[in-house]
Amino acid sequence: MKEMWEERYAADEYAYGQEPNAFFKACLDRLPTPGRLLLPAEGEGRNAVYAATRGWRVDAFDFSAAGREKALRLAERHGVHINYEVADYETAHIEPGAYDAVALIFAHKPERLRRAVHRKLASALKPGGHLFLEAYSKEQLAYGTGGPPNEQLLYTLDDLRGDFSDLDIVELEQVEAEIHEGLYHTGLASVVRLVARQAERST
């Protein structure tokens, strides 16, 4: 799997384009004040760079060194800084209670790892912090317009409701959406979307 991503990201063209994911952009733009943002499985940096241009302090990671190189080049072209680590979910430095926002954009994990990873990321939020997620649903296999060709890597609303039960769920839906992101996400798709919030501490 790692070799596949290294090969994909080693190409000159940005596999998923250079523009931010539309759902991520809309969610981030609704937050009133930039803060500290964590972006796991960030690939070639399109979302990280957009957030940095909006004043966010961005920590990102991915296990692809080629993805990191392209992300840093994209950041340089936009005149911004991102902190990008080559790591996976087990080795990345994820500080509990440190982030104002965490975003998972098409970051698919197998069922045996998904719940633990999602709970770990939820615990990285500060009180009042937000988590955004967009991923392909299990129905996406019938569309063939992007995403993993393996049902075990695709999500249901119940999966997300259970994984993020420690957070206050603000929005949770499965929708058909036109996704046009580079070479590999193109056309009508079935996606799940989540916006959740870490509760404020009681005083």
Judge contact between 124 and 99, C-beta under 8 A: yes
Please give the average per-residue pLDDT across 149-168, as a whole number: 97
According to the model, what pLDDT value does residue 70 have? 98
Judge contact between 185 and 16, C-beta under 8 A: yes
Give the bridge partners for 135, in sequence order. Answer: 192
According to the model, what pLDDT value does residue 202 have? 64
Residues across the chain: 203
6 — pLDDT class (breaks 50, 70, 90): very high
Q: 50, 47, 70, 71: which is closest to 133 by C-alpha?
A: 47
d(CA 74, CA 90): 26
Please give the average per-residue pLDDT across 127-155, as a whole number: 97
- Residue carrying the six token digits 């799940």: 192
Please give the average per-residue pLDDT across 64-86, as a whole number: 98
Write down the mean pLDDT value for the chain: 96
Rg (CA), the chain: 16
Strands 168-181 and 125-136: unpaired
Please give the average per-residue pLDDT across 195-199, as a whole number: 97
Please give the average per-residue pLDDT across 65-85, as a whole number: 98
Domain boundaries, the chain: 2-197
Give the bridge partners for 83, in sequence order. Answer: 59
pLDDT at 148 over 80: yes
According to the model, what pLDDT value does residue 201 have? 76
Please give the average per-residue pLDDT across 153-176, as a whole number: 98
According to the model, what pLDDT value does residue 92 have? 95
The gap from C-alpha 27 to its chain's centroid, in whole angstroms, comes to: 12
2 — pLDDT class (breaks 50, 70, 90): confident
Residue type at position 13: E
Please give the average per-residue pLDDT across 95-112, as a whole number: 96
d(CA 146, CA 102): 23
d(CA 47, CA 108): 16
Taking only the tens place, the pLDDT of each residue in 8-51 is 999 999 999 999 999 999 999 999 999 999 999 999 999 999 99
pLDDT at 195 over 80: yes
1 — pLDDT class (breaks 50, 70, 90): confident
Place domain 2-197 in its CATH homologous superfamily: Vaccinia Virus protein VP39 (3.40.50.150)
According to the model, what pLDDT value does residue 203 have? 56
